[in-house]
Amino acid sequence: MEGLKNVVATENEASEKYGNRTGPPTYRFAWVFLVLFFTNCASPQPQREFTGDKVFRTTQPSKLFFANTRSVNYYRKRPPGTDLDVYSYRKFQITRKRPMVTPTIVDAYLKDEAYLFVEANKFPSITTPLTIRIKSDTLLDTISLQLPTRKAQLAFATDLYEGILNGHRIEVLTQDSVFLEIYEKRAERAAFQSVFTDYYRLTERI
């Protein structure tokens, strides 16, 4: 009997000591686990309604993929007073000693849009508007960026990309009315193709 009283007394003390707890510790831990589990499994927040041109549309998954896996290959700058992130590919050599035309990805992140622009370097005699000649044994085509709108830029970049992809000779017009060859090096052609592919992934066209 004395031993039983001691057990009861001990249980009463324990009950008073832990009486403010909600359920046994094991159940409380299980409850916390379930709350965290269902919180993590909750549906992600829907992307805001898109009202722009679907040609340029970006999504949360495509932007996340670009940010996590591809943006490291670019220099990023944000022009003052804009909501634009401009990505320039690191593998293009910056020079004024020879003409060059390079693609640039522009992320209008507040609009969920991205654009592909083509820019000439600071070689002094490249004409305006930018004019490119694409030629091979069976092809001679000249493209000109008359109006630098978003769609015109993309169409111009696409024509240039196809010329590079098909191994054609690429030339840029100078102020002396002379066409000078660009993209002579295989590495530069590969760099252009990488930027174009990154842009198409960002806008979910591939």
Low-confidence ranges of the chain (pLDDT < 50): 1-43
Domain match, 82 and 173 both: yes
H helical segments located in the chain: 2-18, 25-40, 60-65, 150-165, 186-202
Domain match, 196 and 120 both: yes
pLDDT in tens, 67-101: 999 999 999 999 999 999 999 999 999 899 999 99
173 lies in a domain?
yes
| Residue 103 burial (10 A CB sphere; 0-12, 13-18, 19+) | buried
Domain match, 139 and 75 both: yes
Domain match, 14 and 105 both: no
Domain match, 66 and 11 both: no
Can you give the pLDDT at residue 53?
87
- The total number of structural domains in the chain stands at 2
Can you give the pLDDT at residue 206?
87
48 lies in a domain?
no
Domain match, 25 and 125 both: no
45 lies in a domain?
no
Domain match, 137 and 160 both: yes
* 99, 180 contact by CB (below 8 A): yes
Domain match, 26 and 64 both: no
* 29, 37 contact by CB (below 8 A): no
DSSP 126: B
Enclosing domain of residue 122: 54-202
* 106, 84 contact by CB (below 8 A): yes
Can you give the pLDDT at residue 61?
97
Domain match, 110 and 10 both: no
Sign of CA dihedral 171, 173, 179, 181: negative
Place of tokens 């909600």: 22
Can you give the pLDDT at residue 48?
64
